[in-house]
Amino acid sequence: MAARNLFEKVWAEHEVVAETPDTPAVLYIDLHLTHEVTSPQAFSMLRASGRKVRRPDRTLATMDHSTPTRREQLLAEAQIPLDDAAKQVRQLEQNAREFGVELYGLGDPRRGIVHVIGPEQGHTRPGMTIVCGDSHTSTHGALGALAFGIGSTEVGHVLATQCLLQRKPRTFSVEVQGRLQRGVSAKDLILAIIGRIGVSGGTGHVIEYRGPGIAALTMEERLTVCNMSIEAGARAGMIAPDEVTFAYLADRPGMMQGEAWDEAVARWRSLSSDPGATYDRSVTIDASAVEPMITYGTNPGMVLPVGGTIPATQGNAVFDRALSYMGFHGGEPMLGKRVDVVFVGSCTNGRLEDLQAAARVLKGRRVAAGVQMLVVPGSQLIKRQAEELGLADVFRSAGAEWRESGCSMCLGMNGDTVASGAYAVSTSNRNFEGRQGVGARTLLASPYTAAASAVAGRIADPREML
């Protein structure tokens, strides 16, 4: 048999019917994650056609996008401030009951952002195919799964059949050499990768992140890297499972034990790309040369080192519009630019290590006057862990707001928004126009850079505070 890469092995294991020039492949789906925003239409499709959920045991629902992050609103569920958000929450509760789908509801201690709770609760495992009606499903690829986002109609298809029609993507090797330096995080690495290959560089491909620079990352750092694969246009991002993966999974809820665990690990080890496996595209990145990064425009590819200078106009109308929207001009330095809001959280950077990084900068310091800082854990479990470790006390003492878990200000569907014209340094994944609120100006950065900028009241280099 010819040498195969990680993606090719997982795809082959799940291909029910091979694609032809005229028809896509039929792919079996191991795990279907759902949330309150993209699932209502899909459940309505089932109801209208008289169908049931094919595999409720392979379907999991959680609430994250529209849920309040203020504790008082969660304690009194009727106080969900936005009508649309409240309707979505209630509809998911009804759909889960009617179709027999397990739901991590508002009062469930396991609840959290869908791409945080999947790995955290042991649902995500190497070699799986995983889908969700959400762009950042690629997060789960950090554990060696083939995971990608799908549309609401496709959500309905998977609910009804546990399969999906898909064209086979091409493959893209991103090899990372070297190690990240002090004050530089996995968020900076993936922003640097996107800056290098562009927001369409991965279109039609599944990226495999490889090399010693990836092997050196913790599991939570790998989740951050894979999370933003879609921002490079990729269908998914994957990292081969290794000892870091197995150690992370070993104590997850519901994980197999004893001989079953040993057999699973042996199977997972075999997923690594074979020597001599080929890829359709490849690029090499030196992690040791990556600096703290920050975006300056309206897509994640408009990114530069925090100490860099905004590029001059390129005679490109889209580029010029982005700078106009941000209120920036070519030739200006990023350091020292005004900051109004800082958001630490999201499925990109709402995990415990992310909160620890922000707290490391904030400890003994105060958020600058006039700056609002929200710290929103990615799950209720992470919230409890952060409180037990004293991180929440650090945030509160610094003047930051410590919230309940949820997507929150990443996209503002729950009312956590940024005012028009205000600048938000955000650890989330998208800086599109209006993403965090109408007229809001988003600058993507790491938890280190976000926390340093909150303290300075302007864009700051976190290495000066570490």
Residue 257 lies in a domain: no
Which pLDDT score is estimated for 80? 78
CB 379: neighbour CB atoms within 10 A? Answer: 27
Query: Which pTM value belongs to this model?
Result: 0.97
Same domain (yes/no): 230, 336: no
Could you say which of 134, 166, 198 is where a domain stops?
Answer: 166
What would the pLDDT profile of 109-160 be if each residue is shown by its tens digit?
A: 999 999 999 999 999 999 999 999 999 999 999 999 999 999 999 999 999 9
Residue 412 lies in a domain: yes
Helices H / strands E in the chain, number of each: 17, 19
Residue 74 lies in a domain: yes
What would the pLDDT profile of 396-424 be if each residue is shown by its tens digit?
A: 999 999 999 999 999 999 999 999 999 99
How large is the average pLDDT for residues 329-352? 98
Same domain (yes/no): 332, 377: yes
3-class DSSP state of 405: coil
Residue 259 lies in a domain: no
Could you say which of 131, 166, 201 is where a domain stops?
Answer: 166
> Exposure of 334 by Cβ count < 10 A (0-12 exposed, 13-18 middle, 19+ buried)?
buried
The whole domain housing 95 covers: 6-166
Q: Is the CB of residue 433 less than 8 Å from the CB of residue 323?
A: no
Same domain (yes/no): 236, 323: no
Same domain (yes/no): 134, 150: yes
Q: Could you tell me the pLDDT band of residue 72, with boundaries at 50, 70 and 90?
A: confident
What would the pLDDT profile of 279-300 be if each residue is shown by its tens digit?
A: 999 999 999 999 999 999 999 9
Cα distance between residue 104 and residue 108, in whole Å = 5
Same domain (yes/no): 297, 282: no
Residue 210 lies in a domain: yes
Same domain (yes/no): 277, 384: no
Which pLDDT score is estimated for 67? 93
Cα distance between residue 412 and residue 269, in whole Å = 40
How is residue 47 written in tokens? 């109801």
DSSP 347-398: HHH-SHHHHHHHHHHHTT--PPTT-EEEE--SBHHHHHHHHHTTHHHHHHHH
SS3 content of the chain, % helix, strand, coil (to 5): 40, 20, 40
Same domain (yes/no): 34, 58: yes
Residue 81 lies in a domain: yes
Same domain (yes/no): 28, 96: yes
Which pLDDT score is estimated for 1? 78
CA distances from 140 to 71, 120, 220 (A): 28, 11, 11
Same domain (yes/no): 54, 198: no
What would the pLDDT profile of 291-324 be if each residue is shown by its tens digit?
A: 999 999 999 999 999 999 999 977 899 999 999 9
Could you say which of 129, 146, 166 is where a domain stops?
Answer: 166
Residue 235 lies in a domain: yes
Q: Could you tell me the pLDDT band of residue 77, with boundaries at 50, 70 and 90?
A: low
CA distances from 99 to 50, 53, 93, 122, 428 (A): 11, 6, 10, 23, 32
Q: Is the CB of residue 28 less than 8 Å from the CB of residue 11?
A: no
Residue 21 lies in a domain: yes
Cα distance between residue 367 and residue 287, in whole Å = 30
Same domain (yes/no): 420, 347: yes
- CATH code at 337? 3.30.499.10
Same domain (yes/no): 20, 61: yes
Task: Count the domains in the chain.
Answer: 3
Same domain (yes/no): 82, 214: no
CB 275: neighbour CB atoms within 10 A? Answer: 6
- CATH code at 233? 3.40.1060.10
